[in-house]
Amino acid sequence: MSSKQTRSAFGGVLTKADGLPIANPVKAATPQNRRRPLFYRFLACYALLYSLFVAMKAIQSFGQHSFSNEDNLEGHFRKPLIGKAAEKYFLEVPNEESCLQASRQYTAEPHPAGSDRDLQTAKDFLTLLQNELGIKTPSETPIFPAGSLKSRHATLMIPKAHAPYAWIDTYYPVMNTPLERNLQTLDADGKVLWEADLEEHAEPEDPEAHKYSDSVPTFHGLSKGADVSGKLIYANYGLVEDYDALVGQGVNLTGAIVLTRYGGNFRGIKVQKAQELGAAGVLIYSDVRDDGTVTVENGYKPYPHGPARNPKAVQRGSVQFLSMYPGDPTTPGTPAYENATRTEGLNKPQIPSLPISQENGEKLLKLAKDGWNGTVRLNNQVDEKVMPIWNTMAIIPGYIKDEVVMLGNHRDAWVMGAADPTSGTASIHETIRGLGALLKKGWKPLRSILIASWDAEEYGLIGSTEWGEDFTEFVDKYVVAYLNLDGSASGSRFQVGASPSLAHLVYGAALAVPHPTEESKTLWDATHDTGKYFGDMQDVNIRLNAEAVAVHEASLNARDNLGVGVLGSGSDFTIFLQRIGVASMNHGFTGTMTDAVYHYHSVYDSERWEEMYADPGFHRHVAVAKHLGLVTLRLTGSIVLPLNTTHYAYELESYLDKVEDQAIAYPSEVNVDLSPLRNSIHSLQAASQALDYEKFVSERELKKILKKWHKKGSKLRKLRRKARKAYCKMLKKVFGKECRHHSKELSPKTQQEEDSQSQNIDADAHVQVDLRSEETRRLHPRSHPHSERGENRKERSEMMHGFALHSGFEPPFQTPYSDEHTCGKPVSRPHFPLPKIYKAIKRVRAVNQKLIAFERGFISEDGLPSREWYKHLGVAPGRWLGYGATTLPALTESITLDKNSTLAKYEAERLRRLVDKLAETIRV
């Protein structure tokens, strides 16, 4: 076409005489001629609109989303909510008022395990999960007997889940409840000289404590029912050293009633050691010497009038032999189904025990120290039976469905349990709200999240243990990490215990959360906080009890150079870490010796005490919720799992240093060469450093490929966006209609089936409900997404999609089985480098499997000597500690407790072989 020619809007060429436009020559304006331009214009508009429509349908196939009714055009093209953006949005959700209301809800009434109120709290938590995670409420409450098809289906189908769902599992352990109880002193003729008042008699200044002061009588969970009498012997804290000292002094404990103080070890260990020495019964009291500076002697009034201990407060609690094994005593290693075959229960006492108050303990202590030779009668009658308990669970599916991060907190309490466990429940309540808010914004985690509200923790970690024993293979295969909350706020100091591989993650997350009460500080700074009750040092001249201080410091457990503690036991992480080998964390605010006295497991663990002394304003609750959420987001959203195996490997060597120091302390009794084990640990360190490099390279390579092809896809997305805008604008202008959204719609029947798939667990099926007909599957077995091959392709595509999103890119390809279709057919774009992307993802996945395998590598099927339930050779609760951790337990205790060279050599060699195998497992 010449420079003096141009085309008309309808395709005709108009000539120009001098480069200027000229009028289009037309015939005389007859009625027929006047109608023709209008007709041609209409055809032109129609052609243009049709071409834009066709172009849009073609371009749309390159996109990854369909247009939803909720999203406008600009919102549709926003970057997905990931990484720092997701964290920032999450941190804005947890708040003090919501947390406070949750706490008041769960502490409204006593709810010990197995009670009617306990069941109601399980349902309340289920409602929370349904509301916050967008789960449609099914017609019947999904409460399933453990072991039933529905119960097993609910957990085992987690790797196939495409939408959140929630349910309740019911287990049936053996537990006890109190009946008649007496504590008396008798003269030589059996006459009662004094009888203890075993009720707490809470004062009306704390209305809820006063109302429920005797709703749950003071007793020990799993204690033996018996009526015994004997001489009184004081055994201090009831530590193994205390009992050894008595035996060394020639004291005969046979038939005696032993009086011990709370503290230093788990209460069940106090009873266990007394039983081994022939005692008839045990009394455990709370001693004011362990309350630090916050005492009446130092000028503080007792609660509810002040922060000091109420002398009538009593610490209930389990006396299970926790170091032997946790969970239902009668089904060790197997789940407590209703029809389970049961044993006698070796981890529960064969002698009775009672918890008593400071007031009653001081009365008996004075008698013991004055050399009184009378008799003490201990009567403890209990009703022991199989009782139901309820674990409430929910799943948030991720793009990678075979990697699951678990969050857990127990829900049962001895009475109201404002600090233990409701402060933790209130915190996880806020974490769940934050995750739910992200889901409403279209966020989806890279890895799946499994949330658990455990029951019967107070009786001996029963709910978590029974579920873990029920689904050991599932946990071993799928669970990446377990994050635990018990009480999140009972004092001023923030404490974290974790597997060493999680140490840097939990430390970094704490640095990212503001201090709950002080500006310019972080949550991690709160690890050095203390209480404010120091007293008047000059007037009172207080002196802390040196022994109490030493016991308190010992209870803090060993810490690494970051300040992260080692996990022993005493909460629901136990089965995950020490039997299955899942990297675990436990965190929260605890008391110091200058904090208001925490009335642990008492009726005074009340909402009033929590709001007045533990956490005024609930700022600590919220800080813990934010920390838990950040750790969760970073575990579920990171391309390479943020597990630091090299830190762990070097911590192992520090554990070995302690063992060598202990061996030197027994030179005449123990002779063991630990150098081969040290060499193996060095090899593990080298293998882990090589894995660190592979972590870096594999993630960089994946992001490099995605970035390259993301740039190519961006041009297509821009074209699609512009075409869509133009099409919608003209459609509205010419026809007055809005753009039709291309979201996949289901028929009412199909929608009902899909709801059933995600909400109601099918008791008779072991696969998800198939939305296509049997005839379609028969005719197209390979192409159908739910066929074995099709399902694998669908899962692979979804995983690739998730990796791309969580790398910061919208995938430049259409997944074969996404919701968006063209002409009713799924679209894929093979010219994009899907094989390269998949290969890079496989490399990352291989790295992640090695990281997960690291903690698993410390599991020995033979378990620990004399307590085979515990299988972790890296860390376990000490044999005579219960709560406290012992590192390299089998080797350490062969030296410190058994003092046996042969056994020490065997354990050193067993550990060396395990470390060598682990080094080979993670080697790249």
Measure CA 783 to chain center.
38
Give the other-Cβ count within 10 Å of 77's Cβ.
16
User: How are beta strands 13-15 and 5-7 bridged, if at all?
Assistant: antiparallel
Total residues found in the chain within this entry: 924
Phi-psi region of 828 (alpha: psi -120 to 50; beta: other; left: phi over 0): beta
Distance (Å, whole) CA 147 – CA 470: 8
Strands 353-356 and 389-396 come out as unpaired
Cis amide bond preceding 421, omega within 30: yes
The single residue of 200, 430, 457, 651 carrying the catalytic annotation is 457
Which residue from 701, 579, 590 is spatially nearest to 640, judged by alpha carbons?
701
The set of residues, in sequence order, having a beta carbon less than 8 Å from that of 868 and lying 6+ positions away, is 862
Contact 453, 411 (CB under 8 A): yes
Encode 323-342 in three state secondary structure: CCCCCCCCCCCCCCCCCCCC
Q: CB neighbours (10 Å) of residue 127? A: 15
The sign of the dihedral angle between the CA atoms of 349, 352, 355, 359 is negative
- Please, what is the angle between helix 901-922 and helix 645-665, to 10°? 170
DSSP 843-899: HHHHHHHHHHHHHHTTB-TT-BTTBTT--BSSEEE-TTTSSSEEESHHHHHHHHTS-
Q: In DSSP terms, which residues pair with 448 in a beta bridge?
A: 404
**What are the beta bridge partners of residue 583?**
481
CA pair distance 812, 794, nearest whole angstrom = 17
Euclidean distance between CA atoms 172 and 389, whole angstroms = 6
Three-state secondary-structure class, residue 810: coil
Q: How far is CA 672 from the centre of its chain?
A: 40
Let me know the angle formed at the C-alpha of 420 by 415 and 425, rounded to the nearest 5 degrees: 105
- Tell me the HSE value of 504 on the side-chain side, using a 13 A CA sphere: 10
Distance of CA 764 to CAs 166, 393, 754, 756, Å?
18, 20, 16, 13
439 membership: H or E segment, kind and range: helix 422-440
Q: What are phi and psi of 193, to 5 degrees?
A: -90, -35
519 counts as catalytic: no
Q: Helix, strand, coil: what percent of the chain each, to 5?
A: 45, 15, 40
What is the spatial distance between Cα 141 and Cα 146, in angstroms, rounded to a whole number?
15
Question: How far apart are the C-alpha atoms of 149 and 144, rounded to whole Å?
Answer: 9
Rounded to the nearest 10 degrees, what angle do helices 619-637 and 96-106 cross at? 100
CB-CB contact of 146 with 470 (8 Å): yes
CB of 600 within 8 A of CB of 496?
A: no
Burial class (CB within 10 angstroms; exposed 0-12, middle 13-18, buried 19+) of 549:
middle
Which two three-digit tokens encode residue 900? 């046996």
Alpha-carbon gap, residue 876 to 570, rounded angstroms: 11
Alpha helix locations (H) across 736-773?
748-758
Q: What are phi and psi of 493, to 5 degrees?
A: -105, 130
**Among 162, 50, 164, 131, residue whose Cα is nearest residue 399:** 162
Q: Distance (Å, rounded) from C-alpha 381 to C-alpha 181?
A: 6
Catalytic residue annotation: 457
